[in-house]
Amino acid sequence: MRRLAHVGFIGVLASTVFMASQALAEIKVGAILSLTGPAASLGIPVKNTIDILPRKVGGEEIRYIVLDDASDPSAAVRAAKKLIEEEKVDIIFGPSVTPTSLAVVEVAGPGKTAMVSAAGSAVIARPVEGNKKWVFKTAPEEPAMAARVYGQMEKDGDKTVGFIGFNDAFGDSFIGAFKKVAETRGVKVVADERYNSKDTSVTAQVLSVIAAAPDAVVIGASGTPGVAPVLELRNQGYDGAIYINQGMANPDVLRVGKSGLDGVMLAVPPVLVAEQLAENDPVKPVALNYIKAYEGKYGPGTRSLFGATIWDAYLILENAIPRALPAGKPGTEAFRTALRDAYETTPELVGTQAIFSMSPTNHNGTDERAEVLARIEGGKWNYVPQK
């Protein structure tokens, strides 16, 4: 009897250990977001989106671990190390902006853990070499934005442009890309002024741009700090066209800018104006599904492109998990590598912002279908049809 009891105990113990190992095999998704600091208006919608993401894919449990980097690259690096070394996450969503994303690239690569940035700059995931072999991004890139903006300028007869942008990696990447496209479109750049996201005044930069008399001004900034040069341009009497960018496409920007943003245009992913798209647009139903889920919880008009970037990151993850699982269990290097490989071979996947076709040389996978033109009027985003 004692022997039978001992055998029974061993059986129960083995079953318990097996069940515990199964529980530990959940897929862990880390997230590094700017929930405080200058970029908080970009990070919070991502956190809100993560809160409504499914917790299971094909029978596999998913756990999300969210850390705040306070919009600081050093804090983002510490968060990445914690997620990779302590939490053993299988993939990282974020960070929210270009400077923090570039900092985490140098941790994700050596940690052999894929990251999917929510930021917009192409430089985050290009060229696909070194540590960037582990880096992806879902926000459309600057050349597609520039094509839409310069296309509208051409229609309006505008031939010269001035820039006001952040004095950081985002400003450099955004304005640098717009300058390259300007050369191919016959648009002359007459001014390029920079400021810091925490600056309390941009008067000097605005006056310098106005003195160059550009037909249009493009703002290379993100979040609510990007509103300051727009309002100052209005205050100084500038009456030319003003374009912001998708990094400012969130409700907080509308709240801060109020009527000072009326007439301002931007090239933007279609999710921002999904209801206004043609019925045969393939992105429309996917975008509307996200909007229904997000605004159903947080209220009408609360959608944000930054939230949409992570919804798309999840859609790609949902597609990648079944293709990665045969290589190894979650929590192992084999699974992380297979997950990276699966992301890299995403085929024509329709998201809220774009149709993604990633490859070993393209970790963004978007094209000009990822951008439409919108105009702000009365605190709302209005679709501008392109003929």
Give me the chain's average pLDDT, please.
Answer: 92
pLDDT for residue 241: 98
Least confident of 118-122, 174-178, 329-333: 118-122
The Cα–Cα gap between 172 and 121 comes to 9
Query: Is pLDDT of 6 > 80?
Result: no
Closest CA to 30 of 76, 91, 79, 71: 91
Cα 309 versus chain centre, distance: 5
Domain 142-268, CATH among 3.40.1280.10, 3.20.20.10, 3.40.50.300, 3.40.50.2300: 3.40.50.2300
E-strand ranges in the chain read: 27-33, 56-57, 60-68, 91-93, 114-117, 135-137, 160-166, 188-195, 216-220, 241-243, 265-268, 349-350, 355-356, 372-377, 380-384
Residue-level pLDDT at 87:
97
| CA 384/CA 375 separation, integer angstroms | 7
* Axis-axis angle for helices 283-298, 305-324 (nearest 10): 110
For residues 70-79, average pLDDT: 98
Q: Rounded to whole angstroms, how far apart are CA atoms 29 and 63? A: 6
> Which residue in the block uniquely carries the two structure tokens 């000009």?
368
pLDDT of amino acid 8? 47
- Interhelix angle 333-344/305-324, nearest 10 degrees: 120
State the average pLDDT over residues 1-29.
Answer: 51
Please check whether the two domains, 27-140+291-369 and 142-268, share a CATH topology. yes
- pLDDT given at position 19: 39
Name the residue with higher pLDDT: 5 or 170: 170
Determine the average pLDDT of the residues in 304-323: 95
Residue 355: band (very low, low, confident or very high) from pLDDT cuts 50, 70, 90: very high
Percent of the chain that is helix, strand, coil (3-state, to 5) = 50, 20, 30
Confidence at 386, pLDDT banded by 50, 70, 90? confident
Domain ranges for the chain: 27-140+291-369, 142-268
- pLDDT band at 89; cut points 50, 70, 90: very high
Tokens representing residue 178 in the block? 């717009």
pTM reported for the whole predicted model: 0.83
pLDDT tens, residue by residue, 220-264: 999 999 999 999 999 999 999 999 999 899 899 999 999 999 999
Whether 23 has a pLDDT exceeding 80, the answer reads no
Superfamily name with CATH number, domain 27-140+291-369:
Response regulator (3.40.50.2300)
pLDDT score for 304: 84
- Summarize pLDDT for 220-229 with one digit per residue, the tens: 999 999 999 9
| Residue 22 scores a pLDDT above 50 | no
Q: pLDDT value at position 387?
A: 66
Name residues whose C-beta falls within 8 Å of residue 254's C-beta, 6 or more positions apart in sequence: 261, 376, 379, 380
Instruction: Identify the pLDDT of residue 12.
Output: 43
Asked if pLDDT for residue 302 goes beyond 50, the answer is yes
The fraction of the chain above a pLDDT of 90, given in percent, is: 87
Mean predicted confidence (pLDDT) in 171-183 = 95
